[in-house]
Amino acid sequence: MLKQYCQEKVAMIDAALGRFIPDSGQYPPAIFEAMRYSLFAGGKRLRPILLMAAADAVQSDGSKFLPVACGLEMIHTYSLIHDDLPAMDDDDYRRGKLTNHKVYGDGLAILAGDALLTYGFEVMLSQPGVAPAVLLATVREIAAAAGAQGMVGGQTVDLLSEGQSIDAATLEFMHRRKTGALFRAALRAGALLAGASQEQLNCFNEYAEQFGLAFQITDDILDVVGKEELVGKPIGSDQKNNKVTYVALYGLEKAREMARQTVEKAITALDIFGTEADILRDLVRFLLARDS
């Protein structure tokens, strides 16, 4: 069920992204080529899928909200392009392909990220069939999640912590923003667009917090025990960059146990929902088994 759901949604998202950024007919072509290179580099589309699954759980049709979902994916992709730059993580590969700056150079990679970030908001605001006040509240929430109090703030702590000894509270603060903020925004966006109640929003808040934490812990585990051909980038990059991770702080087995406990908390957060939230339950369970 989960595999089919994700395949259908990925095909839908990819087709919409292709319409928003066609592969020809735009000038200057170099910037659009660089944008498309990373946007279609094999991403799992997890954030737009979470947005649509949250709307589905509120018993709406999540596929109605493709513009917001696609804009969110553009913002996520921008962050990856910039994260890979020499001044940041200095990664040569992502998802098994050369990173954007390795293909197009640092300057164009920076501009491609900038373009995806700004165009993402333009695309989100093109969403039809939603009350203007609801759409503005949703986009504002995504903007906050991407900014200095969200993803960028987490990335800042990450950058300044390289080679430093940080405690568990700082590590959790960093990842709840760097990784978790966009997951939370995706889930809340889907719920807001679908007209969720405050009780439902509260449940999505807790699920999102636990989902983001589980994702980061399993990501740290994969950086130690994953297979490079599946992960799509060199194993051990966190250690190379002197990053503090859950594995480095707690050890591999403790990190695995923390991931299991976090997944169970995420599932419990959805107790008020019936089978309409099964996709969300399956998505968080999948994190324990993922290999990329």
Q: Give the pLDDT of the chain (292 residues) as one tens digit per residue.
A: 899 999 999 999 999 999 999 988 889 999 999 999 999 998 899 999 999 999 999 988 999 999 999 999 999 999 999 999 999 989 999 888 999 999 999 999 999 999 999 999 999 999 999 999 999 999 999 999 999 999 999 999 989 988 888 888 898 899 889 989 999 999 999 999 999 999 999 999 999 999 999 999 998 898 887 666 555 555 556 655 567 788 888 899 999 999 999 999 999 999 999 999 999 999 999 998 887 6
Q: pTM for this one?
A: 0.92
Q: Is residue 157 part of a domain?
A: yes
How many domains, in total, are found in the chain?
Answer: 1
d(CA 23, CA 214): 36
Please tell me the predicted confidence (pLDDT) of residue 268: 97
Q: Is residue 292 part of a domain?
A: no
Q: Is residue 291 part of a domain?
A: no
69: Cβ contacts below 8 Å, ≥ 6 apart: 13, 16, 47, 48, 51, 52, 62
Map residue 234 onto helix, strand or coil.
coil
Q: Is residue 256 part of a domain?
A: yes
Domain that holds residue 181: 2-286
d(CA 134, CA 187): 15
